[in-house]
Amino acid sequence: MKISLCQINPIIGDIEGNKKKIIDGYKKVINDKVDLVIFPELILCGYPPQDLVEKNEFRKAVLKASYEIAEITSETGLLFGTITEQLEEVGTGIYNSAMLCYNGKVQFVQHKSLLPNYDVFDEVRYFESAKEVYIHEFKNEKLGISICEDIWNDSDYWKQRRYSIDPVQSLVDKGATVLLNISASPYAYGRREERREMLSVLTKNDKLPLAYVCCVGAQTDLIFDGGSMCFNSAGELQLLGKIYEEDYLIFDTVKKYEVINNVENSYEEEILNALIMGLSDYAKKSNFTKALVGLSGGIDSALVTYIAVQSFGKENVHVVLMPSEYSSEGSIKDSEKLINNLGISSSLITIQPVFEKIKEVLKDEFNGFEENVTEENLQSRIRGIYLMAISNKKNYMLCTTGNKSEMGVGYATLYGDMNGALGIIADVYKTEVFKICNYINRDKEIIPNEIITKAPSAELRPGQKDEDSLPPYEFLDKILKMYLEEYKEYNEIVEAIGEPETVKKVLRLVDLNEFKRKQAAPALRVTTKAFGYGRRFPIVQKWKR
């Protein structure tokens, strides 16, 4: 069987636009004499549609478009992800479905069996599980059709399974000769290699070929990397879709291909490309054409500026330098060097007069109180006002510059440096920011070395350094990764790395600053546990370790 895999980039809720992409993709490959064209999970409405699913008008529009797609089909099959409904006595009757069409009609529908309800997934909230899986005979093959999570429960690969049933094994037992999986699997570093390993074991043990089509693109904070995969019955990866790009593959299940072993590049390359696509897609889908960054002379804003240039083009990126009396001469010079290296426009607007005026206005209110973090936050908030005003006036997309380490311990100012539309590096630890910047400079200096090598500082008081308030970033990031991503508690962390007082302080900071993160911009997700929708902790709580 010749199968075309179409990994396309939908927009959530753009039913007409997504329908056109599906039809155009189908027509594009039909001349290649393929038997079947397949598209990813929920591709017609975009994934994840979240509470749009609860709108009756939305579901009607999706179903109407599904049948309109079916009408244009010929004898070449078309399989795509959509929403269907069945009137039932119990439950919502709403399903995440794979719809197979040919000869102008919907010929077969398979609902999703396994509904993920962890991390960023919340499908149990919206959908019902399939009551049964079925084989569909088509062009002398018995198609075993599954949807994303359905294939992630293979007992030969997973030591601990999430679900008691295995839909794909049921398809195999019923005589499937070809396996098809339509997927919308968000990316995190290491996930593509995990997919390859898991699907290789499955196809090798079941002795069946598999076409696994993934969507591509970013949907707010979620990044979908593409990388659709085709395996032969020996468990060998035969074809791999483009990474972070739309692509069309043609997989002949009886043809021999050169085996592909490497599916994932270095951490620095993968994450940088993921963030560039994430920002680019957010901007395009939100109708932004220009980016704005507050450039401090530090490494975080330098990296965000570089990513913005790759996403928008240098002619569409503007940065603002906003020095105060505490800003070092080096920070200005380093920023100007980066501006020249990237070829972008800039403004320099001091915050000092406004800072002095606010302190004067509040003099009586602050009488009897020593200067403290309040005055530091004032400076950040003045900068936030400047940036938001420019963003509003000129319709720039303001990019926030905080990293995961800072966001973790609350080393950021609400309504100040946290202002912006999207957290570009808010899922990247500070130590990894350095690695990515060094990777960017692998051939020539783009981000000035002075920015990379100097001690990090917020420059909000004389001689300030980040490590005056925080542990060294290498140590801090180890603690944060264990606490945030591995869910280890105080005793486990101390046993692993020591420094009980430091660990206690860091964990306390994480817990105390939950209220800030609830108000933060969405963070592009590149790890398995990012701040935002996939991590839900109460703000007011008394859990003690």
Q: Indicate if 148 belongs to the active site.
A: yes
Q: Indicate if 112 belongs to the active site.
A: yes
C-alpha to C-alpha distances, 221 to 244, 279, 283, 436, nearest whole angstrom: 15, 9, 12, 20
Question: How much is the pLDDT for 158?
Answer: 83
DSSP for 2-55?
EEEEEE----TT-HHHHHHHHHHHHHHHHTTT-SEEE--TTTTT-S--GGGGG-
* Average pLDDT of the residues of the chain: 95
CA distance 188 to 325: 41
Q: Give me 389's structure tokens.
A: 């005003």
Sequence-distant (6+) residues with CB within 8 A of 514 are 537, 538, 539
- Edge-first strand order for the sheet with 247-252 is 105-111, 94-102, 77-85, 36-38, 2-7, 247-252
Of 112, 285, 290, 430, which residue is the catalytic one?
112
Of 148, 214, 399, 437, which residue is the catalytic one?
148
Question: How much is the pLDDT for 134?
Answer: 98
Other CB atoms within a 10 A radius of the CB of residue 397 amount to 24
Task: Name which of 238, 194, 271, 215 is nearest 440 in CA terms.
Answer: 271
Q: List the helix and strand counts (H, then E) for the chain.
A: 16, 19
C-alpha to C-alpha distances, 38 to 27, 100, 147, 182, 352, nearest whole angstrom: 12, 9, 12, 7, 59
**67 and 168 Cβ atoms separated by less than 8 Å:** no
**124 and 106 Cβ atoms separated by less than 8 Å:** no
- What are the backbone dihedrals phi and psi of residue 448, each rounded to the nearest 5 degrees, phi first? -50, 135
Question: How much is the pLDDT for 533?
Answer: 87
Regions of the chain short of the pLDDT cut 50: none
The gap between the terminal CA atoms of the chain, to the nearest Å, is 57
- pLDDT tens profile 371-387: 999 999 999 999 999 99
CA distance 498 to 492: 10
- pLDDT tens profile 20-45: 999 999 999 888 899 999 999 999 99
- Confidence (pTM): 0.94
Give residue for tokens 């089509």: 213
Q: In degrees to the nearest 10, what's the CA dihedral of 489, 492, 498, 501?
A: 30
Of 21, 41, 101, 406, which residue is the catalytic one?
41
Question: How much is the pLDDT for 157?
Answer: 82
Side chain identity, residue 26: Y
CA distance 309 to 332: 20
